Amino acid sequence: MAETLIRVEHLHKRFGDNVVLKDISVEIGKGDVVCVVGPSGGGKSTFLRCLNRLEEPSGGHIYFDGVDICDKKTNIDLHRQHMGMVFQQFNLFPHMTVMKNLTTAPMKLQKKSQEEAERYAYELLEKVGLRDRASDYPSALSGGQQQRIAIVRALCMQPEVMLFDEPTSALDPEMVGEVLNVMRDLARDKMTMIVVTHEMGFAREVANRVMFLDDGEFVEEGPPDVFFAQPKSERLKSFLGKVL
Amino acid sequence: MFQEFWQKFELNFIADNRWQYLTNGLAVTLRVTFFAVLMGLFLGFAVAMIRNAHEHTGRFKILNALCSLYLTVIRGTPVLVQLLLIYFAVFASVRVDKAFTAILAFGINSGAYQAEIFRSGIQSLPKGQFEAGRSLGFTYFQTMTTIIMPQAIRNVIPTLCNEFIVLLKETSVASYIALEDLTKGGDIIRSRTFDPFMPLMAVALIYLAIVMVLTYGVKKLEQRLAKASH
């Protein structure tokens, strides 16, 4: 495995009495494309959101670039600048144009000049085929376009890892493809990606590791060909039987 | 009949320049409302910010407790009682301008309601807006100033304007401390002419006219905001 980027040790998460994540340990290497699959309510999203502490873990450690980001003394805002996140609901800022959505964070947080930030934003917009929408407001865009912009917004911060929280689940079926294509390109460019998804086809094709998270536990993981063709545990077998 | 009406009109408004009670009173009402609204804006905004920051970050414990107390007390007691308390109890031993007292009382009162308006504006935004800001690396305060508040303020502008309208009418209770506002002006005329109907009716009509104009303005503003936003 390549150099480790994220190391999760004994991660626990409870909401009140409800235990959502039970003792999860995993390592994610640079350039890994990890798809996290499993039944709804199994803790997939919570796991992802713990990685940049949008959810506060109840226990355990998460090392990002060797720094324990669960340590209260760690400045999480600084680390989040290097962890891009894409949400199910896009969450573009509706009061800003597409370009402002893309450049606000790099200019404020990385002190880039407007010119520099815009140049990079245009470059990425070009890649996702939305260069001509820079001056539009998000509401003028389709769901698929909004999600592509949301991916670009995260990329504008030049993150080391991209976290995707069910990025295609809120999309109309005909728009899923355009978003997955962008993610596929990203994987090809060796971006480290952790993707919570229900798109088994995408996981099979693009991921180099697939993880099965059920009932708060990592049950099984493997490269996609093994994961899908020769599931070991009964739980994964029954899950795959339902979704494939 | 018309002649009788004209006679009463002359008695109530023209004779002794009594109309000036109304115009001067109106000026006082508008001034008190304006400054009370302004004060309420500052107070309300500050309180909403403190409460929200406490909710999200756990900081400002003591300030937050004070804010809660302020909201509970102000919203749990009649504004007239607050006005009387400030005028007769707080400023008992000092001579203060009545208009100033009224501004203070209504400003403090309105601040509590405006705080809740701001807070509801913040809470009406999807949680994802806040999370998207934080996930990019913005601090809590950067997220509030660049992402949350611009949207929240825009959302609450119509509601805030309605609060101003409510306050305009509410200031009429300042007659209790003998502030010569619009209501008091009409009442003074009544006491001079012994005709209650015409001067008080005039007062009512003036309030109504202002409220209608403002309401129309708010409606237009709402439409413009709706059109401009997404």
- Which of A52, A89, A137 is the closest to B135 by Cβ? A52
Torsion of CA A118, A31, A9, A237, to 10 degrees: 120
* From B137, B146, B154, residue closest to A81, measured CB to CB: B137
Per-residue confidence of chain A (244 residues) as pLDDT tens digits?
578 999 999 999 999 999 999 999 999 999 999 999 999 989 999 999 999 999 999 999 999 999 999 998 899 999 999 999 999 999 999 999 999 999 999 999 999 999 999 999 999 999 999 999 999 999 999 999 999 999 999 999 999 999 999 999 999 999 999 999 999 999 999 999 999 999 999 999 999 999 999 999 999 999 999 999 999 999 999 999 998 8
Distances, alpha carbon A56 to alpha carbons A92, A165, B56, B78, B89, in Å: 23, 16, 12, 43, 49
Tokens found for residue A99: 């370009």
How distant is the alpha carbon of residue A174 from its chain centre?
A: 21
> Strand A217-222 and strand A4-15: pairing?
unpaired
What is the rounded end-to-end Cα distance, in angstroms, of chain B? Answer: 58
A144-169 residues labelled b (16+ CB within 10 A) or e (exposed) = bbbbbbbbbbbbbbebbbbbbbbbbe
For B153, the closest chain A residue by CA position comes to: A95
Question: In this structure, what token pair is assigned to residue B222?
Answer: 């709402």
Q: Which of A54, A95, A140 sits opposite B134 (nearest CB)?
A: A54
Residue A185's contacts (CB-CB under 8 Å, 6 or more residues apart) are: A127
β-strand partners of A59: A12
Chain-chain contact of A94 with B229 (C-beta, under 8 angstroms): yes
> Residue B137 is nearest to which of A80, A87, A139, comparing CB atoms?
A80
Kindly report the nearest CA distance between residue A169 and chain B, in angstroms. Answer: 15
User: Would the pLDDT of B54 be above 60?
Assistant: yes
Size of interface A-B (CB pairs under 8 A): 64
- Which residue(s) pair with A86 in the sheet? A164
- Asked if B147 has any chain A CB less than 8 Å from its own CB, the reply is yes
Q: A87–B146: do the CB atoms touch at under 8 Å?
A: no
- Judged on CB neighbours under 10 Å (0-12, 13-18, 19+), B123 is exposed
* pLDDT on residue B230: 52
Q: What is the pLDDT of residues B79-122, one digit of tens each?
A: 999 999 999 988 888 888 999 999 999 999 999 999 999 999 99
CATH number for the domain running over B21-229: 1.10.3720.10
Alpha-carbon span A195 to A168, nearest angstrom: 11
Neighbour order of strands in the sheet with A33-37: A83-86, A161-165, A192-196, A33-37, A209-214, A217-222
Q: In DSSP terms, which residues pair with A67 in a beta bridge? A: A64
Given the DSSP bridges, would you call strands A161-165 and A59-64 parallel, antiparallel or unpaired? unpaired
> Measured between CA atoms, how close is A20 to chain B, in angstroms?
20
Chain B, 96-135: which have a CB under 8 Å from a chain A CB?
126, 128-129, 131-135
Question: What does the pLDDT look like over B131-184, one tens digit per residue?
Answer: 999 999 999 999 999 999 999 999 999 999 999 999 999 999 999 999 999 999
Give the gap in angstroms from C-alpha A11 to the nearest C-alpha of chain B. Answer: 20
Give residues with Cβ within 8 angstroms of B2, minimum separation 6: none
**Tokens standing for B146?**
């660049």
Q: What pLDDT score was predicted for residue B95?
A: 81
Q: At what angle do helices A143-155 and B127-136 cross, to 10 degrees?
A: 30
Is residue B229 pLDDT above 70, yes or no? no
**Residue B139 forms contact with A (CB below 8 Å):** yes
B41-53 pLDDT, tens per residue?
Answer: 999 999 999 999 9
Alpha helices per DSSP H over chain B: 2-9, 19-57, 61-76, 79-84, 98-123, 127-136, 140-143, 149-170, 182-193, 197-228
Inter-chain touch A84–B126, beta carbons under 8 Å: no
- For residue B225, what is the nearest residue in chain A, using CA coordinates? A95
B150 interaction partners in chain A (CB closer than 8 Å): 95
ipTM: 0.93
Do the Cβ atoms of B131 and A94 come within 8 Å? Answer: no
Of residues B34, B44, B36, B33, the one with CA closest to residue B111: B44
pLDDT value, residue B220: 92
The pTM for the full model equals 0.88
Quickly state the pLDDT bin for B15 (edges 50, 70, 90).
confident
* Contact between chains at B129 and A104 (C-beta distance less than 8 A): no
Q: Is B150 on the interface with A (CB under 8 A)?
A: yes
CB spacing of A108 vs B139 below 8 angstroms: no
Side chain identity at residue A158, one-letter code:
Q
- Structural contact between residues A22 and A217, judged by C-beta atoms closer than 8 angstroms: yes
Per the CB < 8 Å rule, is B137 touching A91? no
Q: Could you tell me the strand order of the sheet in which A67-68 lies?
A: A18-29, A4-15, A59-64, A67-68
Task: Name the residue among B132, B154, B230 with its Cβ closest to that of A139.
Answer: B230
Specify the pLDDT at position B92.
Answer: 83
- Chain A residues with CB under 8 Å of B143 CB are none
| Euclidean distance between CA atoms B73 and B166, whole angstroms | 19
Interface residue of B127, B136, B155 to substitute, partner A, most A CBs within 10 Å: B136
Contact A239, A219 (CB under 8 A): no
Residues in chain A within 8 Å Cβ distance of B230? 94, 137-140
A126: left (phi over 0), alpha (psi -120 to 50) or beta: alpha
User: Cβ B230–A94 below 8 Å, yes or no?
Assistant: yes
CA distance A244 to A201: 9
How many angstroms separate the CA atoms of A102 and A154, rounded? 8
Hey, of A75, A80, A91, which one would you mutate to test binding to chain B, going by the most B CBs within 10 A of its CB?
A: A91
